[in-house]
Structure 1
């Protein structure tokens, strides 16, 4: 990922105070599609804005991680409402959310890599040099994330995209009830997860990309179930827990794979190449082990 690339965010025309709830009704099966969108999106936006303000002066890795999750949830929500938002509006908003999520996640990525290298250091003391270098890269990532986030008026931007979406939905589906629509979008997300899981399960050797696709599809379904659980029929609490369990296994694999890719793509001027190679060899072994565990869960789900 090119963290230094330029990607201008749209400047807002209208600002809504985030602390105030947008017009909408309580979440029930008879609520309109339009009013339910604002009810679901507003709490996520409130959380994102608060975290963005805190991270302007703090370097809390968990804060950056939670901000990334907020943007991922917004991507899932915009996908859910895309039939009425339209392809162009959805694609534009979700791309902006994706880029902001990547910026927010830069610090967290180095934290994960650093934690893994600390474990590797217990086996190979020479990796200490790379551990120190990773701490420096983490500090640089903090500055970069804070600079980008501070340069974007996150509150104005999020309120603007929310207002635009709300206006569009009110003009297209203000009188349509949410329940049938929500159930259909959840079914589509379930179908996508099952398709990706079965594709991975049929492979003799599950590829990293296939696991990544399953992970993304599982996250989308989980977020949608969390959003729509109050308005759809059925008890999905157990399903959400199952998805969380699978995501945990896939997340452990992803941490290793992402850390390996991060170290491979980074230049460490003060670290001998053989030390970097040694760390990559250790990460490769750990990745294979976690990949087998993740593959077993995916095969079970696909079966």
Structure 2
């Protein structure tokens, strides 16, 4: 299946209703593995559909960001249920979630880079031309995202993969209780985070890739705890808060690293190379400062 192509599906007849009640808030221990998936996925899918519709007429940074978050949550959920969904079906769905998240993220990435360049300019860097060029890149990213993310196609795709998943789960685990399953998947996510954290702090200076892996593992665990908290024993509010705090530190570092890579890979025909270089030097200094702060928080996880 070509995951980058259009999904040849009809307009969905089942419309998702978007509400802001957290996914998982209505779960109980009486739910089965199969029924729980539907309860968790449906509100996230509904939000993604609504966000995609909004992007046709809006270009605010938060809308793009929340759409990307919705697709990330769906990737985490499909990972959790992959033992019953099957490797192939999970891979097909999650690759498309990843592609759509990247399309939504293009605008968000230039928003972040633009804010950082503005901060560099305010600190004395002579990069006015690059700041203006970044605003233009952001405008181009909006057009690209709006062109590539068609709400009807997103809705049809999500409606289809959700129906396929529900059908598969009802035939394979409709009578299995949720608690043991949820606890097992959360434990696996916890172990993955611990393993990546230990690898990241094995040397005195953690590398960017290792910190990025910790960030991704932390997101997955946090999303799973938010999904499954109503049905697993023990309060996890503190763990979620701690993970969110660590994610914030890692996010600040990631913003710098991603913006540096974005600017290095972009072409700025109207901006002198020395202006671009000055911005990269400023970003690099900020990156190392934020990397140290992020590494300290990761060491706490690893310990």
TM-score range, shorter chain: over 0.9
1:76 and 1:220 in contact (8 A); partners too: yes
Quick one: which of 7, 10, 15 aligns to 2:7?
10
Q: Per-residue displacement from partner, 1:79-110 (whole Å, max 9, x unpaired)?
A: 00000000000011000000000000110100
* Secondary structure of 1:59's aligned partner: coil
Deviation, structure 1 residue 154? 1.2
What count of residue pairs does the alignment treat as equivalent?
A: 296
Give unmatched runs, 5+ long, in structure 1: 1-5
CA distance in 1, matches of 2:258, 2:134: 14
Residues 151 and 244 of structure 1, relative CA distance in 2, 3 Å threshold:
closer
Worse-matched range after superposition: 51-60 or 116-125:
116-125
* Secondary structure of 1:229's aligned partner: helix
**What's the Cα RMSD here?**
1.8
Deviation, structure 1 residue 150? 2.2
1:245 aligns with 2:245: yes
Residues 151 and 223 of structure 1, relative CA distance in 2, 3 Å threshold:
closer
1:211 aligns with 2:199: no
CA distance in 2, matches of 1:125, 1:85: 52
CA distance in 2, matches of 1:110, 1:151: 22
Give unmatched runs, 5+ long, in structure 2: 20-25
CA distance in 1, matches of 2:242, 2:224: 14
Deviation, structure 1 residue 12? 2.8
* Secondary structure of 2:89's aligned partner: helix
The aligned residue for residue 97 of structure 2 is 97
Deviation, structure 1 residue 125? 4.7
1:32 and 1:177 in contact (8 A); partners too: yes
Deviation, structure 1 residue 10? 2.7
The aligned residue for residue 278 of structure 1 is 278
TM-score by length of structure 1 reads: 0.94
1:123 aligns with 2:123: yes
